[in-house]
Amino acid sequence: MKKLEEIILSHGEVYGKDILKVDSFLNHQIKPKLIQEMAEEFADHFKDKNITKILTVESSGIAPALLTGLKLGCDVVFARKQKSLTTDDNTYSSTCYSYTKEEMKRLMVSKNFLSEEDNVLLIDDFLANGQAAKAMVAICKQAGANVCGIGIVIEKSYQDGRALLDDMGIDVYSLARISHMDGKEIDFID
């Protein structure tokens, strides 16, 4: 998505080789029209997969997931992040390590909102090490739901997440794929 790449270049803040801050349009302030264009890309790519539910993670996944759900005509569920590692009997859950926050989190989804009849599209803002994506896949497996693919706004292609999901046979569709980042420089995979 060319427009997204341009906005990452003009508005993203890069710190070293790993941290890309996109607080001005995705992670803190949200630009609704831009998110709508992202959602149109996701909906177009996955339109023939008979998606019955979108699963994302709070908070930054909610905006692109909601507008994709509106376009595809399906409900959206956001997994809750809990620092507590306790489980609730009525939830599916999986732990993942957050590299940006340097802590373990448990993602939880109520059993009421995911079932073996669901064809699930996963949506997330970033794909880096793939930890959150892997946890969402694990949650779908617990529910017996079918994972149809994953839509990512920004993929750091030089980290392990993409390969991890490719190896699981999951259709990964990323709107911007960063091959290299360093201070002022950001390169994309076309």
Nearest approach, Cβ of residue 5 and a second copy (Å): 20
31 is a site residue for a second copy (CB under 8 A) = yes
What is the distance of C-alpha 17 from the center of its chain?
Answer: 21
How far is the C-alpha of 175 from the C-alpha of 42, rounded, in Å?
8
Beta carbons of 106 and 94 less than 8 angstroms apart: yes
128 is in an annotated binding site: yes
Q: Work out whether 119 is an interface residue with a second copy (CB under 8 A).
A: no
DSSP string, 59-73: TTTHHHHHHHHHHHT
Q: Give the list of residues 6+ apart from residue 33 with CB closer than 8 angstroms, or none.
A: none
Does position 78 interact with a second copy (CB under 8 A)? The reply is: yes
The terminus-to-terminus CA distance of the chain in angstroms comes to 9
112 near a second copy (CB under 8 A): yes
Interface with a second copy includes 58 (CB under 8 A)? yes
Residue 36 binds a second copy, judged by CB under 8 A: yes
Q: How is residue 132 written in tokens?
A: 């959150």
- Among the listed ranges 74-82, 118-126, 142-150, 167-175, the one in contact with a second copy (CB under 8 A) is 74-82
Whether residue 20 is annotated as binding a ligand: the answer is: yes
| Residue tagged 């997931």 (tokens) | 65
Cα–Cα distance measured from residue 2 to residue 8, given in angstroms and rounded to the nearest whole number: 10
Q: 12 a known binding residue?
A: no
Q: Is 130 labelled as part of a ligand binding site?
A: yes
Least distance in angstroms from the C-beta of 158 to a second copy? 28
Q: Does 82 bind a second copy (CB under 8 A)?
A: no
Of 67-75, 123-131, 152-160, 182-190, which part binds a second copy (CB under 8 A)?
Answer: 67-75
Indicate the annotated binding residues for 5-phospho-alpha-D-ribose 1-diphosphate.
128-132
